[in-house]
Amino acid sequence: MKDRTLLMIPGPIEFEPDVLQALGAPTTSHVAPEFIEIFGQALERMREVWQAPTGQPLILAGSGTLAMDVVGANLIEPGDHALVLSTGTFGDRFEDLLSRYGAAVTVIRVPAGETIDFDEVDQVLDRGDFKLMTGTHVDTSTAVRIDAKRFGELGRTHKVLTVLDGVCSVAGEEILQGEWCLDVVLTASQKAIGVPPGLALLVVSERALVAWESRTSKVTSYYADWGKWLPVMEAYEKRQPSYFGTPAVNLICALHVSLGQILAEGMDARFARHAAIGAACRAGLKALGLGQVPTNDGHAANTLSAPRYPSGISAGDLLPRVRQAGAILAGGLHDQIKSEYFRIGHMGAVKPGDLLSTIGAIEAGLRAAGHCFELGAGVAASQQVLANV
Ligand code: PMP
């Protein structure tokens, strides 16, 4: 029987066949005219997907952490004050990262499951002299979303650069980078962008570029220096060959296809699909008697869910059984609650049928693990939500 196990972790995800075909095509030269066209178009498409008409897109070989590192390397000088808003593991990562570049870091950290209170952020910004603040749009360790629009607005009001970690949100949760005044929105290819792991993607505002140009000290990372990469990105957009480090040719061809698919779906339709599937997933889990890490549905992510195990059932009892029933899920990640919950990714090419299969597989796993519930209740609740959108 064909193996149809669904990869429903929060990245990497299931990829579209056309994207994988582009990835598997014979590799061309990074300065071949047809590749220059593809690279140039990919940069232009990023601007549309990020909704950042005046932003500078960057495509680098690396993972999401490189995209974060690029921010620290280019926008922090020793002694700069930075504010980190942390709703989980990936928020905390920015504290460590920015301090390595010499930033004095203040952290607003909330307990796992809670979101950021922007009135508090407003007050902290009033009192401090911050150059930059970071926020994790969706922290993949808690499935908590922050209000990215308010985040951008506060940055603009207080004249603080805003860096949104959108690794688990770009092309899944609504982001209007230009309108919301976000200075950097970064992500990685393997999530809602829909391309296998290997690309770090950023769109940078003019304001952030001015801050970078005004540095008084040299960027200490050689590879991450915008000074090396901006001329390359500008050249490809002008359809001219350029070189600093060899680009990930096949991944960029795959990105070009995926961005085309995303734009063909339409950003609003794509956000609405993610919202419907997110709501359907939460309803299905609730009907099975499972709690969730986010303390409120209003700030629960649409790109992944973080259900809690029923009492008496552990990761080892459940996840292998769900896998046997057809869906690969992820365990907990947040240090303080790791053993208490698991994670379901539902972003990118995910379809309603994938979600229903996943909820069905969770039901099969729960039943085999001895959890008491009405068989089919989860799938029915998810169906109900999907039928009403
Ligand atoms: N930020 C967030 C919100 C993430 O989910 C991840 C990856 N799970 C990262 C940053 C780091 O990305 P990568 O694993 O691609 O380095």
Q: What is the pLDDT of residue 3?
A: 74
Q: What is the pLDDT of residue 197?
A: 98
Over 70: is that where the pLDDT of 134 sits?
A: yes
Evaluate whether residue 184 is within a structural domain.
Answer: yes
Q: Give the pair of three-digit tokens for residue 257.
A: 């296809």
Average pLDDT of the residues in 144-158 = 98
For residues 367 and 231, state if they share a domain: no
Give the position, in ligand 1's atom list, of the atom nearest the Cα of 65.
16
For residues 125 and 86, state if they share a domain: yes
Question: Scanning the structure block, which residue is given the tokens 């693990």?
Answer: 369
Sign of CA dihedral 101, 104, 110, 111: positive
Point out which residues pair with 61 in neighbouring strands. Answer: 199
For residues 312 and 191, state if they share a domain: no
Q: Specify whether the CB–CB gap between 378 and 362 falls below 8 A.
A: yes
Q: Please say which residue of 218, 248, 265 terminates a domain.
A: 265
Evaluate whether residue 67 is within a structural domain.
Answer: yes
pLDDT, tens digit, 9 for 90 and up, residues 344-360: 999 999 999 999 999 99
Query: CA-to-CA distance for 386 and 179, rounded, in angstroms?
Result: 30
For residues 54 and 201, state if they share a domain: yes
Q: Specify whether the CB–CB gap between 233 and 43 falls below 8 A.
A: yes
DSSP code at position 56: E
For residues 271 and 256, state if they share a domain: no
CATH number at residue 304: 3.90.1150.10
Burial class (CB in 10 A: 0-12, 13-18, 19+), 58: buried
The closest residue, in CA terms, to atom 2 on ligand 1 is 167
Evaluate whether residue 179 is within a structural domain.
Answer: yes
Percent over 70 (pLDDT), the chain? 99
Give the position, in ligand 1's atom list, of the atom nearest the Cα of 200.
15
Evaluate whether residue 310 is within a structural domain.
Answer: yes
Q: Ligand 1 pocket, 65 CB below 6 A? A: yes
pLDDT, tens digit, 9 for 90 and up, residues 43-72: 999 999 999 999 999 999 999 999 999 999
For residues 122 and 219, state if they share a domain: yes
Give the position, in ligand 1's atom list, of the atom nearest the Cα of 141.
5
Point out which residues pair with 7 in neighbouring strands. Answer: 328
Evaluate whether residue 285 is within a structural domain.
Answer: yes
Q: Specify whether the CB–CB gap between 167 and 370 falls below 8 A.
A: no
For residues 274 and 335, state if they share a domain: yes
Q: What is the pLDDT of residue 2?
A: 66
For residues 176 and 218, state if they share a domain: yes
Average pLDDT of the chain is 98
Over 70: is that where the pLDDT of 291 sits?
A: yes
pLDDT, tens digit, 9 for 90 and up, residues 72-108: 999 999 999 999 999 999 999 999 999 999 999 999 9
DSSP codes, 239-289: T----SS---HHHHHHHHHHHHHHHHH-HHHHHHHHHHHHHHHHHHHHHTT
Evaluate whether residue 217 is within a structural domain.
Answer: yes
Percent over 90 (pLDDT), the chain? 98
CATH number at residue 110: 3.40.640.10
Structural domain harbouring 364 = 6-11+266-387
Over 80: is that where the pLDDT of 1 sits?
A: no
Domain count for the chain, please give it.
2
Ligand 1 centroid to 64 CA: how many Å?
Answer: 5
Degrees, nearest 5: CA angle 330-8-186: 85
What's the Cα-to-Cα distance from 295 to each of 145, 195, 300, rounded to whole Å? 11, 31, 8
Q: Please say which residue of 265, 284, 301 terminates a domain.
A: 265
Ligand 1 centroid to 6 CA: how many Å?
Answer: 21
Q: Give the pair of three-digit tokens for residue 131.
A: 């150059």
Give the position, in ligand 1's atom list, of the atom nearest the Cα of 138.
3
Q: How confident is the model at residue 389 (pLDDT cuts 50, 70, 90)?
A: confident
Evaluate whether residue 1 is within a structural domain.
Answer: no
Q: Give the pair of three-digit tokens for residue 37.
A: 């066209």
Q: What is the pLDDT of residue 24?
A: 98
Q: Ligand 1 pocket, 86 CB below 6 A? A: no
Q: What is the pLDDT of residue 29?
A: 97
Give the position, in ligand 1's atom list, of the atom nearest the Cα of 66.
16
Average pLDDT of the residues in 10-38 = 97
Q: Ligand 1 pocket, 186 CB below 6 A? A: no
Q: How confident is the model at residue 40 (pLDDT cuts 50, 70, 90)?
A: very high
94-102 own/partner pairs: CB under 8 Å, 24+ apart: 94/68, 94/134, 94/136, 94/163, 94/165, 97/68, 97/69, 97/72, 98/72, 98/132, 98/134, 100/72, 101/72, 101/73, 101/76, 101/77, 101/220, 102/76, 102/77, 102/78
Q: Please say which residue of 242, 265, 288 terminates a domain.
A: 265
Ligand 1 centroid to 200 CA: how many Å?
Answer: 10
Alpha helical stretches, state H, 51-185: 64-75, 89-100, 118-127, 148-158
For residues 213 and 319, state if they share a domain: no
The neighbour count for residue 339, using CB atoms within 10 Å, is 11
Query: CA-to-CA distance for 30 and 133, rounded, in angstroms?
Result: 35
Evaluate whether residue 293 is within a structural domain.
Answer: yes
Q: Ligand 1 pocket, 98 CB below 6 A? A: no
Q: How confident is the model at residue 319 (pLDDT cuts 50, 70, 90)?
A: very high
Over 80: is that where the pLDDT of 382 sits?
A: yes
For residues 134 and 279, state if they share a domain: no
Q: What is the pLDDT of residue 385?
A: 98
For residues 231 and 349, state if they share a domain: no
Q: How confident is the model at residue 4 (pLDDT cuts 50, 70, 90)?
A: confident
Average pLDDT of the residues in 4-23 = 97
Q: Ligand 1 pocket, 188 CB below 6 A? A: yes
For residues 213 and 361, state if they share a domain: no
